[in-house]
Amino acid sequence: MSTENTRLVVRDAAETSDAERTACDALWTRTWPPNPDEPHEDDPEFVETMVAYTMLLGDDGSLLGACVLGDREITVNGEPHRIAALGGVAVEESHRQRGYGSRIVRAWMEDAQARGYGFGVLWTGERRVGFYERLGWVLLEGDLSYQWLGEDRRIDGPILATAFAPDVEQLLSSWSTARIHLGVGGW
């Protein structure tokens, strides 16, 4: 695992430059090309929930990987919980398999905990579950839903969560089979 000539930057969303946001957006588009057959909704509520960007930069300042922290409210068995939403974990294809993804997620977790969040939640693909479990995340297997384009939908894909403090870790274990609604819009 190489971490030489790289540096992690965690920046509040309000302090993230237009160039940094553009570089992150370009990385995410390369990683997950848009599906023209899927309905798209610009969700201003989602943009307003952005708290911070975690970026891994090369020695030349180029973006090697990134993710975002979103402030979200979810409900677990009807009870609201404020969580840190982990989104957009991506590493440039030519820089993968070097431990950069783990490094970015760990930095995100430290930042979320420092900001006072009790829990982190993420939505991912099947093949990435093991990656997150190795970092301490647990798979939620209850009744999972979200709202998109004004209608409630069942979750298609794994949802994982992590606790940032021992006092909330017990609560997290009860989430594994709970009814969870992730809120409105994109993740």
Residues 8-13: what's their mean pLDDT?
96
Count other Cβ atoms within 10 Å, centred on residue 114. 10
Q: For residue 4, what pLDDT is reported?
A: 64
User: Is 68 among the domain residues?
Assistant: yes
Q: Whole domain around residue 172: which residue ranges?
A: 6-184
Residues 160-187: what's their mean pLDDT?
84
User: Is 53 among the domain residues?
Assistant: yes
Q: For residue 48, what pLDDT is reported?
A: 56
User: Is 111 among the domain residues?
Assistant: yes
Q: What CATH number has the domain bearing residue 54?
A: 3.40.630.30
Which residues have CB under 8 Å from 13's CB, separation 6+? Answer: 50, 51, 52, 53, 68
pTM value surpassing 0.75: yes
- Banded pLDDT at 71 (limits 50, 70, 90): very high
User: Is 150 among the domain residues?
Assistant: yes
- Banded pLDDT at 167 (limits 50, 70, 90): confident
User: Is 1 among the domain residues?
Assistant: no
Q: For residue 156, what pLDDT is reported?
A: 75
Which tens digits make up the pLDDT trace of 40-61?
A: 444 444 455 889 999 999 999 9
Q: For residue 165, what pLDDT is reported?
A: 85
Cα angle for residues 47, 54, 161 (degrees, 5° grid): 75
Domain count, the chain: 1
Q: For residue 59, what pLDDT is reported?
A: 92
Which tens digits make up the pLDDT trace of 111-138?
A: 999 999 999 999 998 999 999 999 999 9
Distance CA 130, CA 94 (A): 22
Residue 1 has pLDDT above 60, yes or no: no
